[in-house]
Amino acid sequence: MGKVFTTKNITRIAVFSAVAFVLYMFIKFPLPGVFPEFLDFQISDMPALLAGYMMGPVAGCLVVTIKCLLKLPFTSTAGVGELGDFLLGIAFVLTSSLIYRKHRTKKGAIVSLAIGSVACTAVSLAVNAFILIPFYSTAFGIEAVVGMLSKLFKDVTKDTVMNYYLPLSVLPFNLLRCILSSVITFLIYKKLSRFFDRIFESRENYLIIGGKKCILKSVVTDSEKATFKLGEKLGKMLSGGEIILLSGDLGAGKTVFARGLAKGLGVTDEIVSPTFTLLNCYHGRLDLYHYDAYRLQGAEDAEQRGLTEYFGAKSGVCVIEWPQNIEGAIVGDTIEVNIKYIDERKREVTVVDK
């Protein structure tokens, strides 16, 4: 919960809630001739979906809740209509964002939105059958409900209201509404997420090397090229003697980052992972000593193999993958770089100057 209520997230929740309320209150219209005129077509759940995908299910559900609470003073249904919209919104947003949180890929987004749409549509059938239609029948009379539906369904009677209204109006209406919200969310989610990231970048979140603002302490890259460029940016700011402790799971992108860093150091040779050689040396503006400590058995093993002689050398920079395996042997100015796998394209790169 603490991660949800950061300054950045509170601001985003407020923005999405305001947009959702405007869409809910004003940007809506009937589809006469297709659905009953009292059904207003609107996509106010879309901002809540965006919030759920960016910040998690709690944030998405908060946007749904705030939107419905803001609408309550203007209700014309004693709050019953807003209750129904709240239940539908929670079913849609909670289902979709929970699935996407576990499967943060393009395919995962499509599947989560599809399942969320089905869940919302199913809940809409139950809400109309057990809450809305009974309320409207009691408040205005079943004859009034039949009269509104008879414009579309000539044979509807008070005994067959549910038979016509639920499968022929509620189901396709809510499915269409959810599909449109899903498509918009899928198309703009990543661009909007990057937009917010740029807005909330602050000086305090930058790593300062040599008195210069060098690189974000924590940044999410959305491609292999972006990870490479981040390494290159760091390499250009180094002056020699630094030791880069490069951590991350297998396949996270450590070698890609190292290649970018090598370019920033002026190395023109092709960079390959020293998995079996343990150490590769390259010449550039500064020499690059690229280590892979995965197969080493500790600090003593590294020292016995003569792998520590370049640590702190002012003529070059050491980059050590799997540094935890030789932690006791590392002496000098270190910069920790951790690369965390998010999905098939995105990585979270965190840089800490020790």
Tens place of pLDDT for every residue, the chain, 354 residues? 545 677 788 999 999 999 999 999 999 999 989 999 899 999 999 999 999 999 999 999 999 999 999 999 999 999 999 999 999 999 999 999 999 988 888 899 999 999 999 999 999 999 999 999 999 999 989 999 999 999 899 999 999 999 999 999 999 999 999 999 999 999 999 889 878 876 765 544 555 555 555 556 778 888 899 999 989 988 988 888 889 999 988 888 898 999 999 999 999 999 988 888 899 999 999 999 999 998 898 889 998 888 888 898 888 999 999 999 998 888 777 888 999 988 888 888 888 765
Distance CA 13, CA 99 (A): 20
Residue 330 confidence (pLDDT):
86
Residue of 102, 128, 126 lying closest to 115 (CA atoms):
102
For residue 258, which amino acid is it? Answer: A
Residue 2 confidence (pLDDT):
47
- CATH architecture entry for 7-199: Orthogonal Bundle (1.10)
Phi, psi torsion values for 320, nearest 5 degrees: -120, 115
Phi, psi torsion values for 199, nearest 5 degrees: -60, -40
Residue 203 confidence (pLDDT):
45
216: which DSSP letter? Answer: E
CA–CA distances in Å: residue 177 to residues 50, 77, 173, 337, 348: 16, 21, 6, 44, 34
Residues of the chain with CATH 3.40.50.300: 205-353
Residue 205 confidence (pLDDT):
56
For 301, residues 6+ apart whose C-beta sits below 8 A from its C-beta are 326
Assign domain 205-353 one CATH number from 3.30.230.10, 1.10.10.10, 3.40.50.300, 3.20.20.140. Answer: 3.40.50.300
Distance CA 177, CA 183 (A): 10
79: helix, strand or coil: coil
Residue 214 confidence (pLDDT):
55
- Give the HSE-up count for residue 233: Cα atoms under 13 Å, Cβ half-sphere: 18
Would you say 1 and 10 are in contact if contact means Cβ atoms under 8 Å apart?
A: no
Residues of the chain with CATH 1.10.1760.20: 7-199
Distance CA 101, CA 141 (A): 45
Distance CA 231, CA 211 (A): 19
Helices (H), the chain: 7-25, 46-55, 57-71, 80-102, 106-127, 133-140, 142-149, 161-165, 171-199, 224-237, 254-264, 299-304
What are residue 96's DSSP bridge partners?
Answer: none
Phi, psi torsion values for 242, nearest 5 degrees: -75, 150
What are residue 248's DSSP bridge partners?
Answer: 339
Residue 199 confidence (pLDDT):
72
